[in-house]
Amino acid sequence: MKRLLRSPTIVLALLCAMYFLTYVDRVNINTAASSIKEQFHLNNTQLGFVFSAFAYPYLACQIVGGLISDRWGARKTLVICGLVWAVATMLTGLSMGLVSLFMARLLLGLGEGATFPAATQAMQKWVPAHRRGFAQGLTHSFSRFGNAVTPPIVAALVVSLTWRGSFFVIGAISLIWVVLWGLYFRDDPRDHPGMTPEDLAALPPPVEKRKVAIPWGALVKRMWPVTLTYFCYGWTLWIYLNWIPSFFKNSYQMDIKDSAIFAAGVFLAGVVGDTLGGVVSDRILRRTGKLRLARLTVIVGGFVGALISLIPLLFVRDLTTVVLSLSAGFFFAELVVGPIWSVPMDIAPEHSGTAAGLMNIGSAGAAIVSPIIGGYLIDVTGNWYLPFIVTMGMLGLGAVCAFGMPIRSEPARST
């Protein structure tokens, strides 16, 4: 119990809660989509346009968010971000049509744009180097846990409070997290009253606080292959997040509750994948001392495993087989997350927030195009399997691009 109450553990728990809530706030609209679509008379392409609204400011804020978190610190950055995304979630419940719904989702993307770069910057200071893969995998597993529990929770809230009420409840919970983070977290672990000498000795040595011009040329050169690889992962993620609930509802004529349960089952596979990917990568690093081997083994294996898992969708329509195929695909895809989110800290420790923002541009870009293309493909062909079949090509591309990431045999000291 004493170990669980240590300050680094509590900080990691707060970050896990943030990852959980940010994804609940992102994907709640996907479960409520059927009710929203019916009330506002939207087609699937328009719905995909609404899904993508989140990603425009989210993409724009990645580099800015990384810069802000590197300069302001994760405490202030995440308090401001949390207030914005909580209010945006509540405003979604007040939407009166396509335009206001789109604007509320834009505001949500603005609020969440700096969250993951800021969290990476916090982990750079609060997590030992040999546990970065575990920390990134664990926090992202909570985001996938948010994906898993959101469909049944939102479905229940929609039934009891209408879809509008579901957004008010979820936004209020986000506000509670903002208060807890602002009260407990400190940017420098040495300033936290709960830290012991043993805790501080386990953490990375503090980086001297100095104003250093970011070497943009070198940083972009190192990060663009990582960004491209993460785009391929992000395409897969956002196809799953945006279309899985509607996929089951429309392909198998399920009601909102049943489709939510099946969606939750698929997303739960990602919870395991996220945690396992980081643990395996860290274990390979400890045993071999080879950083590139530790990251690439899991990242490439995740892409290839996901691709192979989705092959049955080309031939089979049996519900059990399809659920198992989609679940296995999501599990393997999520193996990528822990090690790839460690890469910005490995490549650019002094600018980890900015580097993470550069990488996350890939996922944000995928979040813009994949929902629109997915919705268009469904409207034109009536085939709800097609977006997932196209995703197989992206998984193959991601496996190839991963070999271009400039991960050194030892962590870089500076950019």
Q: Could you read off the pLDDT of 281-304 as tens digits, one per residue?
A: 989 988 998 999 999 999 999 999
The answer to whether 384 touches 250, Cβ cutoff 8 Å, is yes
CA 308/CA 303 separation, integer angstroms: 9
* Percentage above 70 pLDDT, the chain: 95
- Inside any domain, residue 208: no
Report phi then psi at 414, rounded to 5. -155, 160
**Residue ranges making up the domain that contains 50:** 7-189+216-402
- Inside any domain, residue 210: no
CA 392/CA 333 separation, integer angstroms: 11
- Inside any domain, residue 415: no
Encoded amino acid at 68, one letter? I
CA 36/CA 311 separation, integer angstroms: 32
54 CA to centre of own chain: 13
- Inside any domain, residue 57: yes
Q: What's the pTM value of the predicted model, to 2 decimals? A: 0.74
Out of 62-71, 153-162, 383-392, give the one with best mean pLDDT: 383-392
Q: What is the pLDDT of residues 66-91, one digit of tens each?
A: 778 777 888 999 999 999 999 999 99
- Inside any domain, residue 105: yes
- Inside any domain, residue 2: no
Report phi then psi at 188, rounded to 5. -105, 115
- Inside any domain, residue 390: yes
Number of structural domains the chain divides into: 1
- Inside any domain, residue 79: yes
Q: Could you tell me the CATH number of the domain that includes residue 355?
A: 1.20.1250.20
The answer to whether 261 touches 268, Cβ cutoff 8 Å, is no
299 CA to centre of own chain: 16
In the numeric block, the tokens 């335009």 are attached to 99
